[in-house]
Structure 1
């Protein structure tokens, strides 16, 4: 063999070796995962990726066949952890696109709450050390929160301020007047408090409320996911259940009417109540009876705004939750439950439908007002009047107790009239409505607005929706004839000036005027004290507000 032939032989040898290596690599690669799933030919460009993955911006992962001769370097160096991370990353892209994002497991396991760089295991600053259990609940919420929630909401200073301000500033619940204090909150209760404090707190925190609302909704949904961290019941199941139910109740107070899923939340709360309420309740137990009343009230208020049938029974099937039939909230709940059940499913326009423009002006024309309807509605009104008289006298002069009783009376009175008028075929937005027909409705609506001006403890969504509803009724009544045959006329209602209000003062609606009182169903003196005595001096404030 000549010297001139030796390089060619070496080249042939090297070429054969490269061909063998390339063949083994191609045999090992066969096709990347993406091409294999799509049953497409995998065209390799370079040593890192195929043409399809490069164009799609996806990682090109080659899985060797079982009989592969060799493993390519890109596969041999691809560890199991890398593969899992990549799969989770691609899954996150799909979930974000579909709006069903789950928590970023990789990042949640490696980072703690955004508190300025405190990782797990290090000591908290002195200002945070007393709230150690709070951070545990917050970390559970953060690990399960949607990826769309910004990290800024998990800043420890923000969480601490919202948590403390809720206990300092928020009034007691009317079904649970004594404030409940929790040194170790459960995640769902914390989510409700963070949302409530940001929504009803200082204006500069309103921007963060939608993010906490997303956290809250996700936390409630996690209750229905088996083995999720939020649905996992700890050893102290009674305390966990009480706090979780209370969290749902607070969430319901903030979302009545506006979030239809509130009804589903109420059902979850009732199921937890039936499962975890202890058989024997004494003075050392949590206030389970009052918590049951709270679930009932949220259910009734939500049903009132949507005119739907309540789902929580009046009588609890558990003896430990039963209360006296003379109890104030039991009496109110019973009459509301009976009335709502009777008028549900009649096709009547609901209070909330007027805000969403989903009601037809002729929706109530197909209903026939029967003698049974008249008996039910008048008995409802009579019981509500008797309830006011009885529990106003039993409040022993306490200003707070009197305010709560009168607030419930005024709001529920307006609910009854909002059902009564459509059921009888009266359209409050029509030009044909007579003074006799609208007298009692306008009187109740004005009382509701005055209630808002003098009761600073109002914060639940039911109260605010009813006050807004009352304002629409008053404006429509003052405008006089602005209503047309369709609901779009509300957009054309002119806000009256102070001169108009002076001409249409409360004295114009004084009780005892000569008119047909066949439309009236309530005791004429029920609102007298509020409308014409101690609050009369602040009537000008009302006029200014409406103007």
Structure 2
């Protein structure tokens, strides 16, 4: 058995004789300018001296030199960018040293992200701008109004903040949002891979889980509707809460309670769009996360959870299906709705009316708090009324719909549409979908001769808002705008044989049948007199 190969790897590939010289290279490799590397045969007893004497750094350097030659021949030579974060990045640079552990998280994201993403998304100046401007570009979360700052951010939270901040940033960074979305997708996927860098729990598991859940919530707020995987993310976040929430009740647990409320909210929003069963229970099994029955978000979540659970699995058309189905589904017979269904709807509406009265007259709330209460009431009111509307083929003028029902649905849709004209803090996907859904109902009202002078103007404002947001691909705004513009193209002035107009004022005269009103008459009147309706 021989102890060395007869030819270097280059000569062996070309099936040529390898002639060694006094140097470390054979004649052919020396003339070609290539490194001469001997690879032992399969039956060689030992490695050749030329390889056995190499250090690890020399071997890596030789491999990199060969790779560089191949890249240059193929025109794939990499361009060195000193402004891109690298594993060897030193945080003692004055401009970036204050951000500390942020760069460690960014390096982890780089290693787990697809190599096809542009290197520009890792520029230190871009990452720094997106990280520091997050709170300025993103409105405060109503479940966690106090701004959270993190001195040691975890990778998934960093990925989520980079994506959210880029979506709402200027043109030059908004164009990077689709790339940061891919980074976020891969970071979330890492949670399901054993031993992954993103899923690796550091010395403080509570802090890691808190940041990871918050990152999942932020990601869901800007991806729900388009990505059904949001439901899977919610499940992951719930499991992390159950496994890592501290048992003691202190200031930290109160922040966890807010985090749990935020997860409940996005879970209910996702369920309302797809009419699916909520994942998060009404009552958390952990005592430290249970809250008072007087809490505003708890009361709202409880009534929404009960109502949505009742109508799950019935095969009813959903709000989101009206944006995705190429053809509208045929209207379901009203016999599919039982007396129990009607009771659930009315009880749901009664609780929502009581919720509005209780929290809109609170002396403790600021003007902004009252705006949030009214916005939530208007949006959730439309959810309740939308249980029946899609089942009638999304037809406001269906023969099975009474004038009183038409009036109530159109009034709610018009109030929802006007949210955009009075509230600049609307940004989540759920808000955008529900306002677009309201716009489609208002368009049907205009088509049927029951429009108001500012209806089309308010719809245009909403379309402009959707077009302003660049967002990821496929863009939610593009889908919503296309649906609205298709409906607007069909609007025409109704003739004498068109649908009958709505009852102009259902509150005047005793001849009007109020038994069909799902919500309380006082709540209807408060909507008419509200600032949103001006």
Give the TM-score range, shorter chain. 0.7 to 0.9
Q: Which region of structure 1 is more displaced relative to structure 2, 194-203 or 509-518?
A: 509-518
Q: 2: CA distance between counterparts of 1:395 and 1:219?
A: 44
* Deviation (angstroms), 1:490: 8.2
- Offset from partner CA, 1:446-471 (integer Å, 9 cap, x none): 00011121111111111111111111
2:440 to 462, 472, 477: 472
Match in the other structure for 2:93: 124
Q: 1:311 to 1:286 in 2, by over 3 A?
A: same
**Alpha-carbon distance in 1 for matches of 2:492, 2:130:** 40
Q: Could you tell me which of 429, 436, 458 is aligned with 1:461? A: 429
Q: What residue number does 1:441 align with?
A: 409
Give the match for residue 518 of structure 2: 521
Q: State the shift of 1:361 in Å.
A: 2.0
Q: Counterparts of 1:86-235 in structure 2 under 5 Å? A: 114=84, 119-121=88-90, 123-125=92-94, 127-235=95-203
The one of 340, 349, 352 equivalent to 2:317 is: 349
Rounded to whole Å, the distance in 2 between the matches of 1:422 and 1:536 is: 25
In structure 1, distance between residues paired with 2:66 and 2:233: 33
Partner Cα separation in structure 1 for residue 311 and residue 276 of structure 2 = 8
The separation in 2 between residues aligned to 1:367 and 1:63, in whole angstroms, is 81
Structure 1, unaligned stretches of length 5 or more? 1-20, 33-41, 48-59, 90-106, 538-547
**Aligned match of 1:491 in 480, 486, 491?**
486
Q: 1:175 to 1:441 in 2, by over 3 A?
A: same
Q: Could you give the per-residue CA deviations for residues 508-546 of structure 1, whole angstroms, max 9, x where no partner exists?
A: 744415644443201122143343354455xxxxxxxxx
Q: How many residues align?
A: 464
CA distance in 2, matches of 1:488, 1:158: 35
Question: What displacement does 1:120 show?
Answer: 2.7
Change (3 A) 1:327 1:509: farther
Higher relative contact order (CA 8 A, sep 6+): 2
1:428 corresponds to 2:395: yes
1:543 corresponds in structure 2 to none
The 1:489–1:46 alpha-carbon spacing in structure 2 relative to 1, beyond 3 Å, is farther
Q: Structure 2 CA distance, aligned partners of 1:266 and 1:405? A: 24
- 1:198–1:205: 8 Å Cα contact kept in structure 2? yes
Match of 2:305 in 1: 337
- Residues 135 and 43 of structure 1, relative CA distance in 2, 3 Å threshold: closer
Distance 1:88 1:300 in 2: 52
Q: Root-mean-square deviation (CA), in Å?
A: 4.1
Q: Distance in 1 between matches of 2:322 and 2:153?
A: 38
Residues 16-70 of structure 1 deviation map (CA, whole Å, 9 limit, x = unaligned): xxxxx9xx849x99x99xxxxxxxxx994787xxxxxxxxxxxx99762225899
Q: Report the equivalent of 2:41.
A: 64
8 Å contact kept, 1:195–1:216: yes
C-alpha distance in structure 2 between counterparts of 1:488 and 1:230, whole Å: 38
For the residue of structure 2 that corresponds to 1:526, the secondary structure is helix
SS in 2 for 1:231: coil
* Secondary structure of 1:258 counterpart: coil
Kept in 1, the 8 Å contact 2:385–2:409? The answer is yes
Tell me the CA shift for residue 72 of structure 1: 13
| Segment drifting more, 455-464 vs 364-373 | 364-373
Give secondary structure in 2 for the equivalent of 1:255: coil
Whole-Å Cα distance in 2 between the matches of residues 201 and 260 of structure 1? 25
| Whole-Å separation in 1 of the counterparts to 2:247 and 2:503 | 57
